[in-house]
Amino acid sequence: MILKNGQVFTALGRFLTADVELEGDRIKQVAPAGTLHGAEEIDAAGKYVTPGFVDIHIHGAAGADFCDSVDGSQEYVKTMQKYLGSQGVTSFMGTTMAFSEEILNDIFAAVKPLFNQEAQGAVLRGVNMEGPFFNKAKKGAQAEKYIIDPDWEMFQRLWQTSGGNIRLVDVAPELPGAVEFIRKASELCTVSIAHTSATYEEAKAAYANGASHTTHLFNAMPAFTHRAPGVVGAAADDAAHVEMISDGIHLHPAVVRAVFALFGAERVCLISDSMRACGMPNGEYSLGGQKVFMNDGLATLEDGTIAGSATCLAECFRRAVKFGVPLESALRAATINPAQAVGLFDELGSVTAGKRADVLVLNKDLQPEHIFIGGKEL
């Protein structure tokens, strides 16, 4: 398959008018526009040829939740895969909630056969273990009864159950034993600061000892103020990447723009943090065993606490652009950066020869007209 004359988004985060050849499940080559010819061609002139979106923080979509797999069923993940693929999300990290070790163990055992396997849609690339090592004061929509201090032995057991597929683990760095946990866990996966009341100094210590990521910046952490910069200030100094939910609900559009200005396009990861109501009508749903009510894109617990999002990453990307983020910056934050953050950039996240053929053709409204996952068009 030849994608001709498109505006190709390169690994440098810039557009280049070029032809792209897909062969099998790989990107065979990227060549000057008009130079490649084949039996199957798509004229991408005036359109964007981009990597598939990479969502490293997503709980659910299309009525399904990653953690529903606790009953041993893989159908919930497959439902998510199909929906995400249809939106242009080609890789994702199944994200957990704060649960007991027994529940998490059952989830990881159930989904283990699906990691990195071809699917009818987006590929499950691993686990984002969001919880249970949190500060109860910043629990957000996490169930308090499951929240505990960092437990290295528990994490090791879950790591084994997952087959080494936990790619990201979250922790509040001010908790007892957290710094030692971060030091050890960072040898196995990306460690992120999350659901925390940490001071600037406590967050700095976490980054100094191996944390490199920050979960849904501004949400479930102290406010960023001029005398107490907190986690946000420490992240600005030291974090390799920060996540941001750019649905226009979790953060004001001005804050979305400000994050890119403060951190630069190279350090921001757009995420959905979506739950099962994503892609579904208004109504009652659940997250982490708690009731969630979704109304026009706003998902909340019964007490009004925001409970994840109901917006797909593809739409979060489009909204970031609508809010004034440059197209190249928003696209990088939905593809290159998240792939780098969880160690997947060698395989995906950019339109580069030799990488997996997860490629989108977007129209001028940034809607996908063609979606290739592993070289196969949906």
Bridge partner list, 137: none
3-class DSSP assignment, residue 330: helix
Which one of 149, 273, 358, 365 is the catalytic residue? 273
Rounded distance, CA 238 to CA 258, Å?
A: 17
Query: What radius of gyration, in Å, describes the C-alpha atoms of the chain?
Result: 20
- Reported as half-sphere exposure (CB side, CA atoms, 13 A), residue 283 has a value of 10
Distances (CA, A) of 210 to 169, 193, 254: 12, 11, 31
Rounded distance, CA 332 to CA 267, Å?
A: 9
Comparing CA positions, the residue from 240, 243, 165, 230 lying closest to residue 210 is: 240
Rounded distance, CA 361 to CA 8, Å?
A: 9
- Locate tokens 């890119």: which residue? 260
Nearest-10 Cα torsion for 315, 317, 320, 322: -60
Clarify whether 365 is annotated catalytic: no
- Locate tokens 């979250």: which residue? 170
My answer on whether omega of the bond before 132 falls inside 30° of 0, hence cis, is: yes
Say how many residues make up the chain.
378
- Locate tokens 């529940």: which residue? 103
Phi, psi angles (nearest 5°) of residue 149: -70, 160
Sign (positive or negative) of CA dihedral 212, 215, 221, 226: positive
31 near 353, Cβ under 8 Å? no
Strands 48-51 and 41-43: unpaired
305 near 141, Cβ under 8 Å? yes
Beta strands across the sheet bearing 290-295:
283-287, 290-295, 298-300
Which residue numbers are catalytic? 273
